[in-house]
Amino acid sequence: MARIAIVHDVAGVGALQARLLRGAGHEVDQIPLPALGAAWKWPLKAFAMPVRLLAYAPTVARLRRSRYDVIHIHWLSHGIVGVLARRPFFVQAHGSDLHLNLQNPVYRWVTASVLKHAQRVFYVTPNLKAYMSRYDQKLVYLPNPVDVEALGEGSSPPAGIRNVLVFTRLDPVKGVDRIFPAVEQLSRIAKVTALDWGQLAKSYREMYGHWVSFIKPVPHAAVGALLQRFDLVIGQMKQGVLGLMDVEALAAGRPLIAPVDPDLYEDDPPPVIPASGAETIVAEVESLRSRPAELAALSRLGREWAIRNHGFAHHLQLLQAAYFEETAS
């Protein structure tokens, strides 16, 4: 069995990978990275970068001297610790570390260096491949692992639409500007709830608080129970793919409104309701509330799709194949 380092974590994915790999008999160390300045805005973030690099030094030294068979780093810019350690490493792209960071000259340079030196580059949603076309031979599609069993525990399909949840971070990158113009009309059909989370949260509470109940995000262990309080979930609207929260909604057996690019899911398209703006969202909710049989079918098909594409067994199989195929070559 292998000795593996999982460096950093994003949305609990690294922790889940460590759990799965330990279950398969591997020795796994989880190594956090300091987060000083991570949430700062430019140009303040620039002043934090030298300090963060200095704070990475113990991790770089640990990776350099330790005899890890596999080093797996989450978030592309954090892959700089693998470059500095001068050890072979895998790196995992999660989204904003590409489509946002590539717009910044400093992060673009760091990202290019990491992509150049990595053995393999995992990407978690199919749209991210287009950002890394120069490195096509290194790329491995690795959908995020989701605990389908825990998320769906005690789940039963909705019988109607009384409660709707906008289940995404309130940020421009999530396309929330395509959702909230619908909430006044939606509030006449069902109770609408959204997460009080993201850079737009304050302004959205002020603009839409008359029609929407805003709730704080819950600990990850409570996500399944939260989702099952709702009959229908509205996910992110901008990327044409399902993010981790969207997949969690499907795993919990909740019918999901989310636009996906069919070209990115040719092999196994997700069973979602493909509304992409306020008018179509309202129209779909109006239509679905009189079709309980379709709601039940979407609930079942969503869980089945999540198991096939994001279940633990599938994720572990992909992860080990990438690690040890590369090691053996």
**Cα separation, 124 vs 247, whole angstroms:** 12
158 lies in the same domain as 274: yes
Structurally, the chain folds into a number of domains equal to 2
261 lies in the same domain as 319: no
**Cα separation, 115 vs 193, whole angstroms:** 40
102 lies in the same domain as 165: no
- Secondary structure of 76-131 as H, E, C letters: HHHHHHHHHHCCCCEEEECCHHHHCHHHCHHHHHHHHHHHHHCCEEEECCHHHHHH
130 lies in the same domain as 155: no
185 lies in the same domain as 207: yes
Q: Give the domain extent around 29.
A: 3-145+311-328
The confidence score (pLDDT) of residue 101 equals 85
Average pLDDT taken over every residue of the chain: 94
Please, are residues 73 and 97 in contact by the beta-carbon 8 Å criterion? no
**Cα separation, 128 vs 261, whole angstroms:** 13
Residue 246: CB partners within 8 Å, gap ≥ 6?
167, 168, 233, 235, 236, 256, 258, 272
**Cα separation, 184 vs 276, whole angstroms:** 17
Query: What does the DSSP assignment read for 227-265?
Result: HTT-SEEE---SSSS--HHHHHHHHTT--EE----GGGG
**What percent of the chain stands above pLDDT 70?**
95
7 lies in the same domain as 134: yes
How many residues make up the chain in this entry? Answer: 329
107 lies in the same domain as 153: no
128 lies in the same domain as 207: no
Q: What is the pLDDT of residues 81-127, one digit of tens each?
A: 999 999 999 999 999 899 888 988 888 999 999 999 999 999 999 99
Q: What is the pLDDT of residues 175-195, one digit of tens each?
A: 999 999 999 999 999 999 999
Given a cut of 60, is residue 292 above it in pLDDT? yes
Is pTM beyond 0.85? Reply is yes
Q: What is the pLDDT of residues 10-44, one digit of tens each?
A: 989 999 999 999 999 999 999 999 876 666 565 66
Where do we find the tokens 């009384």? Answer: 162
Q: What is the CATH number of the domain that holds 25?
A: 3.40.50.2000
The confidence score (pLDDT) of residue 329 equals 47
198 lies in the same domain as 109: no
132 lies in the same domain as 235: no
193 lies in the same domain as 282: yes
141 lies in the same domain as 160: no
